[in-house]
């Protein structure tokens, strides 16, 4: 660790240090697959939309799908259609095709054309060419 320079003058800020790059790298590799406690995810619900989606992706990466879905829903409720699309994809992965379709349509109705593209691709994959068109 190294002291952080005082932006208002000479010297370092008292008791403020920057983490050395190698320590940051080591901690990221070591803790990459660790799952934060419930209190972390509860606190995460109060974040803003862009942060919610990053946290949701982290939860999804760790196979915490229920938490990911909750965070994606919060992001979508805050107006981020990306959260709605990710939530639709999660629904589709667990076999809730009607729920996925509803969410894709909701994203499309909200002005995000990716919802229609995803819905068309999903229809094509299940053999519904006419529905895809």
CA distances from 21 to 31, 90, 123 (A): 15, 35, 47
Q: Distance between the two ends of the chain, CA-based, in angstroms? A: 58
10-38 mean pLDDT: 75
Q: Where are the domains of the chain?
A: 1-34, 37-132
- Topology given in CATH for the domain delimited by 37-132: 1.25.40
| pTM summary value | 0.68
Closest CA to 79 of 106, 101, 99, 100: 106
pLDDT > 70 in the chain, percent: 92
68-94 mean pLDDT: 90
Which residue, chain included where needed, has tokens 């790298």? 25
Confidence of residue 86 (pLDDT cuts 50, 70, 90): very high
Residue 42 contacts residue 67 (beta carbons within 8 Å): no
């Amino acid at each position: 660790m190294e002291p952080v320079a005082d932006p208002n003058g000479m010297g370092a800020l008292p008791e403020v240090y920057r983490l050395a790059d190698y320590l940051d790298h080591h901690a990221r590799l070591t803790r990459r697959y660790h799952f934060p406690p419930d209190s972390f995810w509860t606190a995460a619900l109060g974040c803003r939309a862009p942060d919610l989606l990053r946290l949701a992706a982290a939860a999804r990466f760790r196979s915490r799908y229920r938490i990911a879905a909750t965070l994606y829903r919060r992001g979508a409720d805050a107006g981020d259609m990306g959260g709605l699309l990710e939530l639709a994809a999660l629904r589709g992965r667990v076999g809730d095709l009607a729920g996925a379709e509803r969410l894709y349509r909701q994203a499309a109705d909200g002005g995000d054309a990716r919802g229609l593209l995803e819905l068309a691709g999903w229809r094509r994959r299940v053999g519904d060419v006419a529905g895809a068109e």
